Structures are given as structure tokens and as C-alpha cells.
Amino acid sequence: MASTVSTPAADVAPTTARFLRHAVEVALAAERGGNLPVAAVIALGDEIVAAAAARTLRPAAHPGRHAEVLALAAIPDPLVPRLAEMTCYCTLEPCLMCFGALVLHRIGGVVFGARDPRGGAVALLPYLAADVAAEARAVRWQGPVWPEVCDPIAARVLARYWTARYKSSS
């Protein structure tokens, strides 16, 4: 099936472009299903080993069903010891919860398409305690690598998330 998603800029590695394109397609499918358009793809070498979309709104509201956490949980058990060799490709910069999960599980790298100005955790790297900072800096962080496609998707995520959050608290 032909992709309906454009290709990242020419300076993005072809493998990164392929995995991030897949993450965007998963995110858009989630949006069509009523969820926030956020997705994560975890790759080992040239193979996708897990992929997930956020399921924070459907089937029922749940704050912990973020794409990165669900993708980590979907990694086949025999591959878990190889997490340091894997890279997580996310449509949106990981939030603090997902940042922590990725760091504590010692994923090898994280590539994100768009920065999250309200909840992205990568900016916290300089402020972490020394032992946590050492773990977090061991992860290869790259992003935003595809803002021309992921920024509009991120804007929809943020608008819908904050609207849903304030509706549920009133």
C-alpha cells in the first residue's frame, strides 16, 4: 500500500524516515479511531519490533496509555534484553512519564518528529539528578526531525488534550 505521508527532509537518514513515517501513519489511524494522534515505533536494526498509538481517550479515558509506554510493553519478551540496541521513533517529544519509562528501560535511542512545548521532557536533561542524568544522557536523543509534518499533528494533540482535560475537570 502506498504511503500517504510525505518524506522527512533530505538530511534525515532513510531508516529514520521510514520508521518515523510509519509512526505518523499509526498516529493518524489512532486519530481516525477517536484517540490522540500520537504513536511510537520501536526498531531493532532495520526491523520494527513494536508499535503503538496512544489510547488515552478510547476505549475509555486512561492517563497511562501513552504510545511509548504501550510500545515498550509490546516488545516481544525474548527481545527485551536488547533494549539498549533499540530506537524509539515518536511522533511527539516524549512527556515526563514516557521519558522516564524509556530511560529506566534503557532504550538505546529516541527520535521524535515534533517538540512538545507544553509537556516535552527532553528539555529537563540539564536539571536531572546526577545518577538519573547519566542514565538519560546514555540515550541518543534526536529531534525534532520532521516538524513540517509532525508539528500540525502535535498542535491537534495539544488542542484536543487540553480541551478534554478541562471538560473532565469541570
pLDDT at 8 over 70: no
Q: Which of 20-24, 43-47, 74-78, 118-122 is predicted with the least confidence, judged by mean pLDDT? A: 118-122
Neighbours of 86 (CB within 10 A): 25
CB 87 within 8 A of CB 140: yes
Active site residues: 68
pLDDT at 164 over 80: no
When mean pLDDT is compared over 39-53, 107-121, 151-165, the highest value belongs to: 39-53
Predicted local confidence at residue 42, as pLDDT: 98
Give me the count of residues in the chain. 170
Specify the pairing of strand 47-53 against strand 86-92. unpaired
Q: Check the CA dihedral 87-89-95-97 and report its sign.
A: negative
Predicted local confidence at residue 7, as pLDDT: 47
> pTM (2 decimals)?
0.88
